[in-house]
């Protein structure tokens, strides 16, 4: 029996636009950003940022080393934000509906810049992001990232989750594989699916 549902953020709730992001970084002089940008897990200094081992300031400074020291924080943050599209209203409505029946959590490989952009997407009426989820588990705060098993184990311990009672939804095959190995029920999501339909099949 499913009692908990864990959602990934990017690619599940928030649509991702890789092409737009690469173009935005190209416009500020970083034409090779696509080489380190990945929908599932980042690499190099980007992964360091998502694991919280470097600060936002350090991340921006490293980027400037590839681009131009005159590029502003706002330009960098705007380019980063172009990867993230607005959450469709039907997904927010789904979360509200599920929240009355299940414990809901977010487990995301993400970073401070992205979360500052994404959090307002959840502002509907008097609701904020904390009203949709019982807890947010964010890689840069936890100092670990999917698909490593340690982040799943840490989440389960902190939230007192039984893996067998928990549905984990992600768009990364590697993340899904780790979750399955740990005993979670899983849904490998892609943007061609209807999230509500797929979730209702499994709960």
CB 51 within 8 A of CB 140: yes
Catalytic site residue from 8, 90, 171, 192:
8
| Pair of tokens at residue 154 | 């840490």
Report the interhelical angle of 18-27 vs 73-81 (nearest 10°): 160
Q: Are 83 and 18 in contact (CB under 8 A)?
A: yes
DSSP 8-class letter at 88: P
115: nearest Cα among 88, 83, 145, 147: 83
Which of 66, 87, 63 lies closest to 15 in space, CA to CA? Answer: 87
Looking up tokens 């990232």 gives 145
Its sign, for the CA torsion 71, 31, 44, 14, is positive
Give the other-Cβ count within 10 Å of 45's Cβ.
17
CB count within 10 Å of CB 159 equals 16
Is 68 labeled as catalytic in the residue annotation?
no
Active site residues: 8
């Amino acid at each position: 029996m499913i009692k908990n549902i864990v959602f990934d953020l990017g690619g599940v709730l928030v649509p991702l636009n890789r092409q737009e992001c690469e173009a935005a970084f190209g416009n500020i002089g970083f034409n090779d950003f696509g080489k380190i940008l990945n929908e599932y897990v980042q690499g190099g200094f980007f992964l360091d940022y998502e694991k919280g081992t470097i600060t936002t300031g350090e991340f921006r400074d490293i980027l400037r080393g590839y681009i131009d020291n005159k590029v502003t924080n706002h330009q960098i943050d705007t380019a980063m934000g172009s990867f993230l599209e607005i959450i469709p209203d039907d997904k927010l409505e789904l979360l509200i509906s599920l929240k009355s029946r299940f414990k809901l959590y977010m487990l995301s490989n993400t970073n401070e810049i992205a979360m500052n952009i994404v959090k307002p997407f959840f502002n509907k009426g008097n609701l904020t992001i904390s009203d949709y989820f019982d807890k947010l588990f964010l890689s840069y705060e936890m100092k670990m990232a999917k698909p490593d098993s340690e982040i799943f184990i840490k989440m389960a311990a902190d939230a007192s989750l039984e893996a067998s009672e928990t549905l984990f939804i992600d768009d990364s095959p590697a993340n899904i594989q780790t979750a399955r190995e740990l005993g979670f029920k899983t849904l490998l999501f892609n943007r061609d699916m209807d999230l509500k339909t797929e979730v209702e099949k499994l709960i």
